[in-house]
Amino acid sequence: MLRKRHYSQAGLVAQPQKKLVLASRNQGKLAEMQSIMQGYEVYLQSEFFEEQAEETGLSCMENAILKARFAAHRTGLPAIGDDSGLFVDALQGMPGLYSARFAGENATDQQNVDKLLSVMRDIPEGHRQAKYVCTMAYVRYALDPLPICVTAEWPGYIFHEQRGNQGYGYDSVFYLFGQNATVAQLMPALKQSLSNRTVALRALLAQID
């Protein structure tokens, strides 16, 4: 498959794009990240293999590094791994690392949201602060001893009911006071500009360019 190349202002020298693999099989995540990663030829790891890294870390950073190393090992390319979750103050950081499976190993987004609202039913207004956290790790090769890691946080509040249908995960109950809306009520372009994943990716690219 042919890929685009970047050209100098003089239009004479073709600059090959840097190849990089994203430790994911999520096409939506790839599209979101590609819009920011100008100058990179980005692949999903699922273009090469189906297996997933085992997320045995005890932190977002550990899991992001595990994912990046796994993708780099299997493809021979530099890799970015990311791990993210919803951390609720009143629940001592839960669902946190288990955000995608809060209601069970194969739970749907709706089941996870339902469980969150259930366990927070008696938590009063003013004590429902939360944050989305995204950590990204970049390795040049699988055994890179100096992975580059960045973490970005997106503060919010757990609303008492679902609002909006633009998002996924916990977006329908993750309320932003600055926008007077849940993330699921935001237009996609605005969500992307504000999101912790976008902030983390821009910070990471600034260090690997």
Dist CA 105 CA 109 (whole Å): 12
Dist CA 29 CA 67 (whole Å): 15
- Residue 104 zone, left/alpha/beta (φ > 0; ψ -120 to 50; rest): left
**114 flagged as catalytic:** no
**Catalytic one of 82, 83, 114, 171:** 83
Three-class DSSP category at 190: helix
**Structure tokens, 54:** 């085992």
CA distances from 179 to 11, 42, 158, 194 (A): 43, 32, 14, 11
Whether 188 and 139 have beta carbons less than 8 Å apart is answered as no
Dist CA 72 CA 140 (whole Å): 8
**Residue whose token pair is 């993708």:** 71
**Structure tokens, 62:** 């550990």
For residue 61, give every residue at least 6 positions away whose Cβ sits within 8 Å of its Cβ, in sequence order, or none: 83, 135, 137, 149, 151
Note the residue count of the chain.
Answer: 209
Which amino acids are annotated catalytic?
83
